[in-house]
Structure 1
Amino acid sequence: MVHPEILCQSPIFRGIAPDDLHELFRQIHYQVKAYQKNDLITMAGDICDRLLIIQQGSVKAEMTDYSGKTIKIEDMSAPWPLATAFLFGKENRFPVTVSATSDVEMVSIPKTEFVKLLQLNALILNNYLNTISTRAQFLSQKLKFLSFKTIKQKIAHFLLEKAGDRLQTVEIQQSQGQLAEMFGVTRPSLARTLGEMVQEGLIETDRRYIKILDKVRMSQLLMG
């Protein structure tokens, strides 16, 4: 069963009242699929011929690099849509492997039916275009991040991106284990590299906070 009161909070349906969204869904064909924690939802390379929206629960997206190492791309939770930028085009395949990190309900809308929604409601079309533009920007940044070869470069890029031009101290929301998974490294390797950066006078750490002591030297790391 679809829940419009949840889906109307999705970037795709933002600004549409639940009753209006319910009426729109009555005009198309869709499915609601249930997954248990750790279930595989899509594999990288699968044909992307439907729009998937998380209605309940959370998932993780992972990618395998050329060395066979698994790298977490991001965590997503309801009511986030999956692979919006890959629904159309010649190579419309899922770019990542998605698995459930909790019990999940997924709304599945075939591409032809989603096109009907775009034709029925201009706000959905506008939301979708904004969403795929934002995702393209995110993926561009992620590719840049994955191009860094050393753990120190990845940490430097991560911290400088979070700090921006004005901040010196950033709050780290992720645990060290989650960061290691995101960087595609082991937790001991991440801890060791953070310790090296402290000893080199690049950063100071205080529980969930990291202070950047030398942004110039941190930026120079990214050029090496």
Structure 2
Amino acid sequence: MDFMTIMGQSTLFRGLPEEELRRLEGIGELREFDKGDMLFQEGREGVGFYVVAGGQVKVFKMSFDGREQILHILGQGDPVGEVPVFAGMTYPANAQALTKASLFFFPRKKLIELYRESPSLAMNMLAVLSRRLREFTVLIENLSLKEIPQRLATYLVHQQSLKPVSARVKLNVTKGVLSNILGTSQETLSRVLGKMSQEGLIEVQGKEISILDMERLKSLAEGGTRL
């Protein structure tokens, strides 16, 4: 795993000079996880955080009735469990390897020392935490206020915005995981995808979804139209 390349692409450390990335490399530990392995559990002491080098990780919470709610699906370059590093708190959710995964682990105590010496590192962390807060706000709005077609449309519009040069969205998760993210069942998700295809909004080909009418999809996401 090329530490410099992965950290240079990471939302947390992107834009940092090579000298500071080398200092991070000095405290990073490469750890390997098999599919299903837990990185950490909710309520445990936040002793450090990870950056995904390869594979996928899901961050989730469990409801009182035992239902799993996925908060994030994270891939290469994404930080995992970074909130406790600044806040000095316990992990606010669970993290589990969704596939076989490799991650760099950064111990909290050593990171705090680096942040004190490098304000640019701290500013990058604040930017990532702000983005996480916006994502949680959208998630809460989706689950509490929007119907399933709106939730799916919002998800597709967001995924396409990550690669604006393409009208195609490649699902990097199974339909089971996606239905969990959207707070619905696989059967309902399949019906909504089928309805969107019939209406000419999208075309589904395996794990690839081509957006045929972005304006109508955005309108659906914002509640301006209905299926």
Structure 1 segments unaligned to the other structure (5+ residues): 165-169
User: Cα deviation per residue 1:128-171 (whole Å; 9 max; x = unaligned)?
Assistant: 1211112221222122222247434423544566789xxxxx64
TM-score normalised to structure 1 length: 0.73
Gap change, CA 1:119 and 1:41, over 3 Å in 2: same
Q: CA shift at 1:77, angstroms?
A: 1.6
User: Cα deviation per residue 1:155-212 (whole Å; 9 max; x = unaligned)?
Assistant: 3544566789xxxxx644327715323213322221224445677x6x6442223536
Gap change, CA 1:2 and 1:119, over 3 Å in 2: farther
Gap change, CA 1:17 and 1:5, over 3 Å in 2: farther
2:121 paired residue number:
124
Gap change, CA 1:141 and 1:57, over 3 Å in 2: same
1:61 paired residue number:
59
Gap change, CA 1:215 and 1:36, over 3 Å in 2: closer
Q: Return the alpha-carbon distance in structure 2 between the equivalents of residues 60 and 191 of structure 1.
A: 22
2:183 paired residue number:
184
Structure 2 segments unaligned to the other structure (5+ residues): 162-166
8 Å contact kept, 1:8–1:17: no
Mapped pair 1:31 → 2:29: yes
- Give identity over the alignment, percent: 21
Alignment of 1:163-182 (within 5 A): 171-174=168-171, 177=175, 178-182=177-181
Q: How large is the RMSD of aligned CA atoms in angstroms?
A: 3.7
Task: Give the aligned residue type for 1:73.
Answer: L
- SS in structure 1 of the partner of residue 87 of structure 2: coil
Gap change, CA 1:192 and 1:21, over 3 Å in 2: closer
- 17-26 or 33-42: bigger deviation: 17-26
- SS in structure 1 of the partner of residue 6 of structure 2: helix
Aligned residues between the structures: 215
Q: CA shift at 1:52, angstroms?
A: 1.8
Q: Return the alpha-carbon distance in structure 1 between the equivalents of residues 157 and 56 of structure 2.
A: 28
1:71 paired residue number:
69
Q: Return the alpha-carbon distance in structure 1 between the equivalents of residues 20 and 64 of structure 2.
A: 46
Q: CA shift at 1:16, angstroms?
A: 3.0
- SS in structure 1 of the partner of residue 99 of structure 2: coil
Q: Return the alpha-carbon distance in structure 2 between the equivalents of residues 134 and 144 of structure 1.
A: 15
Mapped pair 1:139 → 2:140: no
8 Å contact kept, 2:151–2:221: no
Gap change, CA 1:135 and 1:213, over 3 Å in 2: closer
Q: Return the alpha-carbon distance in structure 2 between the equivalents of residues 218 and 40 of structure 1.
A: 34
Gap change, CA 1:130 and 1:51, over 3 Å in 2: same
- 31-40 or 125-134: bigger deviation: 31-40
2:210 paired residue number:
209
1:49 paired residue number:
47
8 Å contact kept, 2:150–2:220: no
1:15 paired residue number:
15
Bigger CA radius of gyration: 1
Gap change, CA 1:215 and 1:104, over 3 Å in 2: closer
2:164 paired residue number:
none
Task: Give the aligned residue type for 1:131.
Answer: V
8 Å contact kept, 1:60–1:101: yes
Q: CA shift at 1:98, angstroms?
A: 1.5
Q: CA shift at 1:114, angstroms?
A: 0.9
